[in-house]
Amino acid sequence: MVAALKNRISPAHDLINPYETALEQYERATNRLGIDENVVEYMKWPHRELTVNFPVKRDTGKIEMFTGYRVHHSTVMGPSKGGIRFSTDVTLDEVRALAMWMTWKCALVNLPYGGAKGGVLVDPKSLSAREIESLTRRYASELIPLISPHSDIPAPDMGTTPQMMAWIMDTYSMTVGYAVPAVVTGKPINIGGSQGRTEATGRGVIVSMMEALKRHGRTVKEDIRLVIQGFGNVGSHAAAYAYDLGYKVLAVSDVNGGIYNPNGLNIPSVRSYVAETGGLSGYPSAEPVTNEELLLLPCEVLIPAAMEGQITGENAARLQTQFIVEGANGPTTPEADDIINERGIFLVPDILANAGGVVVSYFEWVQDLQAFFWDEEEIFRQLERILVKAYDATVRTAEEYNVDMRTAAQMTAIKRVAEALMTRGFYP
């Protein structure tokens, strides 16, 4: 496992605790809201946290122990919702931060959900297909006391796939004795997954980007150059959708580094290269760049779509972009936020920009519960409607309180959860 630590996308992450970022953002937002201090205190705490240490039999016959977490930050608005991450960077504090961001994200797009997140400390690429199935199923069975269609609904996140969601659905279903597709979202379509879910987060990032560009009068697509950090569940689909729409994507990256072509990359060809070779490295007709260098490339829109803590007090002053659209959760530290605001770079925050994933997860859950499925056109139409509405609400808060977009998005969401909490009251 120690060797896998080398896969970190940026050394910056070593120094940054995402939970500190989440709490600092929360403080900035609640300072402006003027809500009851008891409510502010209550919402700061994760509701419940599970740590599990469990065995996986490796192909050699040896038993290896793995550690996993599931944190429910809030269940005020409904069952908790949020992805499961397989990564060697997972810590309890990271999962706490991600769970808290899910609460605000779901509230901002008006989904009837609270927030949760899970993670297992593992590099999924270091295990065989059998080992990863065994790890996923054992972790899922450890989560049985917490998950169900009415209490907590997991989904994919960094390092996890629709196939893994299928194993979670199957493990849960085998335990209760009947098929329960609604226990998890982001499943393959043939077992109750939704049209459009795989692309949803990346597509939503581009929808939010276009909304920001439009409102700044930047409608000529050929003039907009994108740089995208990350080429996984979010970045690869954002790049593909942007490319199809006619935007120039200059650079993309994965954990091992990025590729850059100042004239624009041919994204379909990059995607086939990755499908064939398993990564971006060695892609012809582009120059290699490190993940750090990639963030500093000249562009109109920078999309951090990898992980937390990438845009920091150390590099924010050197960014050469006009817009930042956060595909990842928590990619920008509060210190960097101050520099970005000062420099007049317009930022569309994570809980708004990457909410497309959980919105289509919600559609998937609704379809599973009703056993009635929608077509792709309907999914994307409703997705866009919800994201634009959330964008509007954020801008209205930003104007009303004269705050930046991150603080506005968090304030909008926190206010909704606070009001629901006050309506429900403190138990007992």
Any idea which residues carry the catalytic annotation? 117
- 245: closest CA among 276, 202, 278? 202
If the CB atoms of residues 97 and 393 are measured against ligand GLU, the closer one turns out to be 97
274's tokens: 């990755």
- Binding-site member from 68, 79, 83, 327 for ligand GLU (CB under 6 A): 83
Asked whether position 361 contacts ligand GLU by CB under 6 A, the answer is: yes
User: Least distance from C-beta 184 to ligand GLU, angstroms?
Assistant: 9
If the CB atoms of residues 135 and 358 are measured against ligand GLU, the closer one turns out to be 358
User: Least distance from C-beta 364 to ligand GLU, angstroms?
Assistant: 8
- Binding-site member from 81, 137, 248, 406 for ligand GLU (CB under 6 A): 81
Task: Tell me which residue has tokens 């810590």.
Answer: 91
Instruction: Return the CA Rg of the chain.
Output: 20
**Type of residue numbered 139:** Y
Contact (CB, 8 A) for 126 and 359: no
Sign of the torsion formed by the C-alpha atoms of 41, 148, 190 and 137: positive
Binding to ligand GLU, residues 369-398 (CB under 6 A): none
User: Least distance from C-beta 259 to ligand GLU, angstroms?
Assistant: 25
Cβ-Cβ contacts under 8 Å for 135 (sequence gap 6 or more): 56, 66, 120, 122, 127
CA distance 27 to 30: 5
Binding to ligand GLU, residues 147-166 (CB under 6 A): 155, 157
Asked whether position 90 contacts ligand GLU by CB under 6 A, the answer is: no
Asked whether position 329 contacts ligand GLU by CB under 6 A, the answer is: yes
CA distance 9 to 158: 12
Type and span of the H or E element at 87: strand 80-87
Backbone angles phi, psi at 85, to 5 degrees: -115, 135
The window from 123-131, 292-300, 313-321, 350-358 that contacts ligand GLU (CB under 6 A) reads 350-358
User: Least distance from C-beta 351 to ligand GLU, angstroms?
Assistant: 9
Backbone angles phi, psi at 91, to 5 degrees: -135, 165
CA distance 319 to 368: 44
User: Least distance from C-beta 367 to ligand GLU, angstroms?
Assistant: 14
User: Least distance from C-beta 362 to ligand GLU, angstroms?
Assistant: 8
- Binding-site member from 40, 357, 379, 407 for ligand GLU (CB under 6 A): 357
User: Least distance from C-beta 121 to ligand GLU, angstroms?
Assistant: 17
How many CB atoms neighbour CB 320 within 10 A? 13
- Binding-site member from 18, 46, 82, 193 for ligand GLU (CB under 6 A): 82
Residue of minimal Cβ distance to ligand GLU: 83
x/- track of binding to ligand GLU for residues 181-210 (CB under 6 A): ----x-------------------------
x/- track of binding to ligand GLU for residues 10-49 (CB under 6 A): ----------------------------------------
301's tokens: 């829109």
CA distance 312 to 240: 27
If the CB atoms of residues 68 and 357 are measured against ligand GLU, the closer one turns out to be 357
Beta pairing class for 225-229 and 301-304 = parallel
Asked whether position 358 contacts ligand GLU by CB under 6 A, the answer is: yes
Task: Tell me which residue has tokens 């980007």.
Answer: 209
Degrees to nearest 5, angle at CA 405 with 198 and 257: 50
- Total of residues contacting ligand GLU (CB under 6 A): 11
Asked whether position 88 contacts ligand GLU by CB under 6 A, the answer is: no
The window from 80-88, 119-127, 167-175, 373-381 that contacts ligand GLU (CB under 6 A) reads 80-88
CA distance 405 to 346: 8
Asked whether position 410 contacts ligand GLU by CB under 6 A, the answer is: no
If the CB atoms of residues 40 and 106 are measured against ligand GLU, the closer one turns out to be 106
Three-class SS state of 7: helix
User: Least distance from C-beta 92 to ligand GLU, angstroms?
Assistant: 17
If the CB atoms of residues 131 and 330 are measured against ligand GLU, the closer one turns out to be 330
CA distance 248 to 265: 7
If the CB atoms of residues 50 and 296 are measured against ligand GLU, the closer one turns out to be 50
CA distance 395 to 373: 33
CA distance 396 to 415: 14
Please give the residue ranges that form the binding site for ligand GLU (CB under 6 A): 81-83, 155, 157, 185, 329, 354, 357-358, 361
